[in-house]
A and B are shown apart, each in its own frame.
Chain A
Amino acid sequence: MADLTQRYFEDVSVGDEFEETQQPTHDHVVAFIAAAGLPDGGGRFTDPVRAKAAGLPAPIVPGPMSASMLTRLVTDWMGPLGRVLSLDVSFRRPVHHEDLLRCVALVTDVNGEGDFEGTGAGAVHLDVTLENDRGEKPVQGTAVVELPRRV
């Protein structure tokens, strides 16, 4: 469930960190592929045999699903009136089913350059990362969001 608590620009500073834990299962992956209308990637997301043929030790979590976990981390944090301006992620290593993932976001910049529907709200820059429990960061990227100001 989305949290209806609104976050405001004035309450955010560089260095703020927030995170969620995710553990995508085979069933989650199947459901995501169906809901998002994704191509099945030649079976590499769900089928061990076809994953091996693609050079992978086991089926992997689709990139867009990893991106969605990070999007969700950010949208839950910012509240309903926040707005995602951009999300840019690179998939550096495979994410496997059942991986215990820390989805981490770190505020790297806050500035008044945003323009929240003409109300002059600010842009918040975030580094976003998926970390597995093997010490790897398979997905890394940035997001820019706009938060309203407290009036």
Chain B
Amino acid sequence: MPDATYLDLHVHSSDGSDDAGGTVEGYLKWIAARRKLGFKIDGFVVTEHRRFDLDRDYSELAARYDAVVLRGVEVETTIGHVLVFGVTPEFLAKFDLSSVSLPYEEVFKAAWETGGVAVGAHAGRPRIGCVEHVDERGVTLEGVRVIEALNGGSNDYENGRAFDLADARGLRVIGSSDSHFVSALGRCLTRFDRTIKTMDDLVATLRDPSASFAPMYLDDTKDGVEPRPRPSGAAVFLPGTSGQGSLGGDDLEYDRSVVGREVPVGKFEVTRELIAEYCEALDQTNPLYTDEAFAAAGPHKGIIAPPGIVQSVRMDGPPDPKVTFGDTTMMAGQRHEYYLPVRPGDTIEGFAQVKEVYEKTGRSGRMVFVVRRTRYANQHGEDVAAVESTSAHRQVKPTGEGE
């Protein structure tokens, strides 16, 4: 009986994915905690979005936790997102990984010819999985041998229709969590009926038509657990997608000169009255903000302001990057960092910049992201807080002819 290996083949980390909060070490600590509860998980593959750093290596860190951490990449193609395992300099030389519409046939072909293997990611997901491209555009899936049918970020309907496609086309299937956060690691994974320690082992197994591997849920890796049946593609539950939006391909147009240029955007004085009003409006009852006696005996030796107060005073924005794509914008994310307490009598000044502009594709099609960062400093020149907001530009109305 050969040794089985349980690997999560699709994981994002904050080292390389803009939308991930999990660190590689955080994932490893989580694996240790899961193992104590009887779950089986041997390791994972870090597949960041649209980038692959040849010099990065997690093997030493992984060894400390008795786990395997390998690296691949998740790229974006004309049939949706694609995982590539066994990435070589030769493969990287052929593509601009930051593109959101790489030609899928060439990606699968190049991966195979350079000794690796490409896998259709979250195949059942609207727009960014291959199922819809087969159903709606008759894509032939040239060179596609393996798809990710069980994806931890997809719902049962999406996963079910991915299994259906695999059955119909004779494709091999894998499972993975698509984790962006530590606690999602391994939620879905792949069981291999052999020992896998290296990327070479993994690639050889995925390329071998006689190798035995299957997707599964983490819950089912415990001894004595009856495996859950695979999800059904019957449309009992239709996900709420707009069905609009293009997968793009045009060059991203914006004013690059504003990126990284920090400008002062406003100033205000923190008073006891302002703190009291803010606490009243937002039902903040922590006595550190409201009770002089309690606060005086506490760690700050006096009343402080709730950290969110820096955002409650309207300030200007940073210079406009003039993104031309899309007809609507949505808030896609927010990051708050709090460094020092804000006290009555402080003068807080905001400094804002456009930190980054980039594009990617999601369930709703192409999106252009603008990351704006405002840092707040007090009258001593110390940073007290920073807030980053990410907005997504999208095209929701059909554009032009021939769509």
Residues of A near any B CB (own CB < 8 A): 1-2, 4, 14-15, 35-37, 54-55, 57, 62-64, 67-68, 71, 75, 80-81, 83-91, 93-94, 106, 108-109, 116-117, 119, 125, 127, 129, 134-136, 140-142, 148
Tell me if B183 and A86 are in contact (CB < 8 A).
no
Known: A37-B314, A54-B396. A127 touches B331 (CB 8 A): no
Nearest to A15 among chain B residues (CB) is B33
Interface stretch of the complex, out of B40-48, B255-263, B265-273, B285-293:
B285-293
- Kindly list chain B residues whose C-beta atoms are within 8 Å of the C-beta of A57: 240
Tell me if A108 and B30 are in contact (CB < 8 A).
yes
9 closest A-B pairs (Cβ-Cβ)?
A55-B396, A142-B21, A35-B281, A63-B331, A90-B333, A108-B182, A88-B335, A117-B299, A127-B183
Tell me if A14 and B29 are in contact (CB < 8 A).
yes
- Smallest CB separation, B235 vs chain A (Å): 15
Tell me if A89 and B288 are in contact (CB < 8 A).
no
11 contacts between A and B (CB under 8 A): A14-B30, A36-B282, A63-B333, A81-B298, A88-B334, A89-B334, A108-B22, A108-B30, A109-B182, A127-B183, A142-B21
Q: Which of A37, A54, A117, A119 contacts B312 (CB 8 A)?
A: A37
Q: Which of A14, A85, A129, A141 contacts B338 (CB 8 A)?
A: A85
B330 interface hit (Cβ, 8 Å) = yes
Complex Cα distance, B335 from A86, in Å, reads 7
Residues of B near any A CB (own CB < 8 A): 19, 21-22, 26, 29-30, 33, 37, 155-156, 180-184, 237, 240, 242, 244, 281-282, 284-288, 294, 298-300, 307-308, 311-314, 328, 330-338, 363-364, 390, 394, 396-397
- Kindly list chain A residues whose C-beta atoms are within 8 Å of the C-beta of B37: 15
- Kindly list chain B residues whose C-beta atoms are within 8 Å of the C-beta of A84: 307, 336, 338
- Kindly list chain B residues whose C-beta atoms are within 8 Å of the C-beta of A94: 240
Tell me if B335 and A87 are in contact (CB < 8 A).
yes
Complex Cα distance, B20 from A127, in Å, reads 11
Tell me if B396 and A14 are in contact (CB < 8 A).
no
Known: A55-B328, A64-B334. A36 touches B312 (CB 8 A): yes
Q: Which of B19, B155, B244 contacts A136 (CB 8 A)?
A: B155
- Smallest CB separation, A115 vs chain B (Å): 11
Complex Cα distance, B253 from A57, in Å, reads 29
- Kindly list chain B residues whose C-beta atoms are within 8 Å of the C-beta of A88: 21, 333-336
Tell me if A2 and B285 are in contact (CB < 8 A).
yes
- Kindly list chain A residues whose C-beta atoms are within 8 Å of the C-beta of B181: 108, 127, 129, 140-142
Tell me if B328 and A85 are in contact (CB < 8 A).
no
Known: A15-B33, A125-B26, A141-B21. A81 touches B299 (CB 8 A): yes
Nearest to B394 among chain A residues (CB) is A55
Q: Which of A54, A93, A127, A135 contacts B182 (CB 8 A)?
A: A127
Complex Cα distance, B300 from A119, in Å, reads 12
- Kindly list chain A residues whose C-beta atoms are within 8 Å of the C-beta of B397: 55
Known pairs A37-B314, A54-B396; list 6 more (Cβ under 8 Å). A36-B311, A64-B334, A94-B240, A125-B26, A129-B181, A148-B299
